[in-house]
């Protein structure tokens, strides 16, 4: 096939010109067949020669220009698949096999990312197919595409090869490759459509169910095991040579530093040994896979492709099944008794380890989204969580995150509140959290919370979130979710703390004052806005807001009523808080939406006020004395005169099109955590201004001729 420059093994002397030539040939305009010696030389290339940013940029742009003719991207991907196959088929593969696979995925990731993020047309021009005259492909490819072959082997390696010091970096780069290959979703609109082009994601969805289940299991095990970067860094001179930069290393957002995430991670980690890049990126890959929805072309859309059919598709989209989502939903505890298993295939996971790991990692949004996905979709895991006696393992980090709401994203707050709502749908959960006593809550700064129940803390944090939302976010959905969770918990409240009881009554007081003020403003505007269209619109807006506050007030009254109706004897502090602030209920005694609920509160007040009057002595009563009278009379409380209302029970249901929220949300998480940037000008999935600073710098393209890339005097024959 012609001569080739000598490329010594790692550690030997190496000519920088050889690296320049081999990369230059790869991106050049001369196609090399799969059988050419060139590919082996390229894959054995030690990438430890310094290149400036502009050279890497030129290389990426030249490949983009020539790839339609050379199909070199498809060929490097083919060789990547073959290297992975070789590393899986041989027992105890040699380091060279792993290094060749590493080089293949390394180079593939660099140029694939550039082609994806530089795409300007409707279809992504990756040209993943080979020329018809490539005989080598027939035995390996058969009837499948290059992307299917690559994804099958990448997923098989991830699922079947254990993470070890020898394979750690290859595992990590394959996971990075997965993120890059699936990033075609960033070019799609916020709602999945039939014209979206996601070849690698679609290939991942087409894999056998057994492989899909194994991949989901391995990604979750990576998350739980949390393997650290191997300590023998000297083995990996590509990444850890302190004196030199890699050929494609440190090149900014223009290209390949993205795949050196292990290196950049180590540089920025500050020696935190608890960090695990494989665990983090495994969850990112899993979330992208689980939440992917392929929109299929319906008959109506195919036969009547027009603007009207687009709107029809929006209302009634048809999606293919997501096998990764199904695998996650069917996961069971490895302690589960086989005799009780259903006929559906299951993957087995150590739920105890998963529960504990989630508890440790819930400060990370990706872990929160994983917990939501498990609780919402997997009934076996939800049941497991509900029977745990140490619910504080999950709840304390959730409540701490809500306590620090100003530093959290709105989406994270939503997810945390929905998790609490899902859990509160179970009566045993609501009872259990009030029996678990916390010795202290060190992160709660406003007040010393000593020997308070987990349930009381949850009530305090939910009320605090409501107040934060009213002053800052003003989001009706968030408000409703908080109050719905409190309503689910209310009938099961047991010994609610004095502080939580006071906060509950204060919440009603705050809402009532806002309601009264808004009603007065609306009435004043009503008198002055006659015949004024702008004034009438303002009155209408204020009436709508007043209606919302009416609903909130009624819901808080129903929460208080549920405690008084179903749990009064167990909650003297709630009775004390109502008696102490009884004047706040007076303005609503005759309100048509509230009067029956207020009547119940005054039935309780009349009962305990009369008992207090019967025992009244000269002088002021201390708080302790009043509380003792309430405790004694709680024993004789029978609820006479109370009107019984149907016990409130709110449940969570996903929206009809959850993909419109979750797909953009997952990718925002991935791009903010993965350590590499993406050309913001190419992102259509979500507004770029929602992103973090990592996404600010896009790729700037230039026009190059083939001759701009220098070639040394020696060459390979195609």
Structural domain includes residue 154: no
Structural domain includes residue 216: yes
One domain, residues 536 and 393: no
DSSP 470: I
Structural domain includes residue 167: no
CA distances from 1 to 4, 72, 81, 526 (A): 9, 18, 23, 90
pLDDT of residue 57: 80
Tally Cβ neighbours within 10 Å of residue 493. Answer: 28
Please give the model's pTM, rounded to 2 decimal places. Answer: 0.87
pLDDT of residue 267: 34
One domain, residues 676 and 641: no
For the chain, how many structural domains are there in total?
4
Structural domain includes residue 450: yes
Structural domain includes residue 9: no
Please state the φ and ψ torsions of residue 296, each to the nearest 5 degrees: -95, 155
pLDDT of residue 63: 92
Concatenate the DSSP letters of all residues of 471-517 into one string: III--HHHHHHHHHHHHHHGGG--S--HHHHHHHHHHHHHHHHHHHH
One domain, residues 532 and 614: yes
60 and 108 in contact (C-beta within 8 Å)? no
b (16+ CB within 10 A) / e for 643-665: eeeeebebebeeeeeebbebbbb
Q: Identify the domain containing residue 487 by its residue range.
A: 389-491
- What confidence tens digit (pLDDT) does each residue in 160-189 have? 999 988 889 999 999 999 999 999 999 998
- What confidence tens digit (pLDDT) does each residue in 9-23 have? 444 445 677 878 888
Q: Which two tokens stand for residue 332?
A: 């069971």
pLDDT of residue 232: 54
Q: Are strands 332-333 and 318-319 parallel, antiparallel or unpaired?
A: unpaired
One domain, residues 451 and 563: no
pLDDT along the chain (718 residues), means of 10: 42 64 90 91 74 77 90 93 88 79 90 86 64 61 84 97 90 95 93 90 96 98 90 40 38 31 33 68 97 77 49 64 95 76 75 97 96 97 96 97 94 96 97 96 94 97 94 89 97 97 97 92 77 69 89 96 96 97 94 94 95 77 90 92 90 90 95 85 82 36 42 45
One domain, residues 670 and 571: no
366 and 283 in contact (C-beta within 8 Å)? yes
Query: Cα angle at 403 between 397 and 408, to 5 degrees?
Result: 85
Structural domain includes residue 164: no
One domain, residues 520 and 414: no
One domain, residues 73 and 106: yes
- What confidence tens digit (pLDDT) does each residue in 414-435 have? 999 999 999 999 999 999 999 9
One domain, residues 607 and 679: no
One domain, residues 279 and 320: yes
pLDDT of residue 6: 43
204 and 184 in contact (C-beta within 8 Å)? no
- What confidence tens digit (pLDDT) does each residue in 262-304 have? 333 333 333 333 478 999 999 999 999 999 988 886 555 555 5
One domain, residues 631 and 662: no
One domain, residues 27 and 78: yes
pLDDT of residue 631: 94
| 24 closest CA partner among 41, 3, 8 | 41
Structural domain includes residue 574: yes
> Could you give the CA distance from residue 110 to residue 306 in angstroms, rounded to a whole number?
38
Structural domain includes residue 46: yes
One domain, residues 364 and 217: yes
b (16+ CB within 10 A) / e for 293-319: bbbeebeebeeeeeeebeeebeeebee
Give the residue from 440, 459, 491 where a domain finishes: 491
């Amino acid at each position: 096939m012609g001569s080739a420059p000598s490329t010594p093994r790692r550690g030997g002397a190496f000519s920088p010109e050889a690296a320049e030539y081999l990369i230059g040939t790869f991106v050049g305009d001369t196609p090399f067949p799969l059988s050419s010696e060139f590919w082996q030389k390229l894959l054995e290339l030690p990438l430890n020669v310094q290149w400036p940013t502009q050279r890497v940029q030129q290389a990426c742009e030249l490949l983009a220009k020539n790839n339609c003719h050379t199909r070199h991207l498809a060929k490097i991907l083919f060789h990547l698949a073959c290297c992975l196959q070789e590393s899986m088929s041989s027992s105890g593969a040699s380091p060279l096999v792993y290094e060749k696979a590493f080089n293949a995925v390394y180079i593939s990731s660099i140029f694939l990312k550039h082609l994806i993020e530089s795409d300007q047309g409707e279809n992504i021009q990756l040209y993943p197919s080979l020329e018809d005259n490539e005989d080598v492909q027939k035995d390996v490819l058969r009837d499948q595409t290059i992307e299917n072959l690559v994804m099958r082997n990448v997923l098989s390696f991830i699922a079947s090869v254990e993470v070890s010091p020898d394979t750690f970096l290859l595992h990590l780069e394959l996971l990075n490759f997965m993120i890059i290959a699936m990033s075609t979703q960033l070019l799609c609109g916020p709602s999945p459509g039939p014209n979206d082009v996601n070849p690698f994601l679609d290939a991942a969805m087409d894999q056998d169910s057994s492989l899909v289940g194994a991949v989901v299991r391995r990604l979750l095990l990576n998350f739980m095991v949390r393997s650290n970067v191997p300590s023998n860094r000297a083995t990996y001179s590509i990444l850890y040579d302190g004196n030199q930069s890699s050929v494609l290393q440190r090149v900014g957002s223009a290209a390949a530093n993205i795949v050196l995430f292990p290196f950049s991670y180590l540089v920025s980690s500050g020696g935190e040994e608890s960090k695990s890049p494989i665990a983090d990126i495994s969850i990112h890959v899993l979330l992208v896979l689980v939440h992917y929805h392929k929109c299929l072309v319906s008959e109506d859309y195919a036969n009547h492709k027009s603007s009207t059919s687009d709107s029809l598709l929006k209302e009634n989209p048809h999606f293919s099944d997501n096998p990764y989502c199904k695998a996650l939903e069917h996961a069971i505890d490895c302690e589960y008794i086989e005799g009780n298993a259903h006929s559906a295939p299951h993957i087995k996971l150590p739920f105890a380890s998963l529960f504990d790991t989630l508890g440790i990692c819930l400060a990370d949004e990706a872990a929160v989204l994983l917990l939501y996905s498990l609780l919402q979709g997997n009934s076996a895991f939800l049941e497991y969580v509900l029977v745990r006696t140490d619910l504080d393992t999950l709840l304390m980090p959730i409540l701490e995150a809500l306590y620090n709401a100003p530093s959290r994203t709105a989406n994270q707050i939503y997810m945390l509140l929905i998790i609490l709502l899902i859990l509160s749908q179970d009566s045993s959960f609501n009872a259990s959290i009030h029996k678990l006593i916390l010795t202290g809550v060190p992160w709660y700064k406003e007040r010393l919370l000593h020997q308070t129940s987990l349930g009381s803390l949850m009530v305090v944090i939910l009320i605090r979130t409501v107040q934060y939302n009213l002053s800052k976010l003003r989001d009706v959905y968030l408000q409703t979710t908080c109050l719905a969770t409190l309503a689910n918990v209310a009938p099961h409240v047991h010994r609610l703390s004095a502080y939580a009881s006071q906060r509950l009554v204060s919440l009603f007081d705050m809402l009532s004052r806002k309601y009264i003020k808004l009603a007065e403003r609306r009435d004043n505007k009503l008198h002055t806005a006659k015949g004024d269209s702008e004034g009438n619109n303002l009155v209408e807006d204020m009436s709508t807001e007043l209606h919302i506050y009416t609903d909130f007030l009624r819901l808080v009254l129903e929460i208080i009523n549920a405690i008084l109706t179903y749990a009064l004897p167990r909650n003297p502090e709630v009775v004390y808080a109502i008696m102490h602030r009884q004047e706040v209920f007076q303005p609503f005694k005759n309100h048509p939406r509230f009067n029956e609920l207020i009547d119940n509160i005054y039935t309780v007040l009349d009962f305990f006020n009369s008992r207090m009057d019967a025992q009244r002595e000269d002088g002021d009563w201390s708080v302790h004395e009043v509380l003792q009278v309430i405790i004694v009379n709680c024993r004789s409380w029978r609820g006479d005169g109370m009107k019984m209302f149907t016990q409130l029970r709110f449940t969570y249901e996903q929206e009809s099109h959850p993909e419109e929220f979750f797909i953009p949300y997952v990718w925002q998480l991935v791009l903010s955590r993965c350590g590499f940037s993406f050309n913001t000008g190419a992102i259509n999935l979500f507004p770029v201004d929602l992103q973090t600073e990592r996404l600010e710098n896009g790729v700037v393209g230039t026009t190059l001729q083939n001759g701009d890339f220098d070639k040394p005097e020696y060459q390979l024959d195609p």
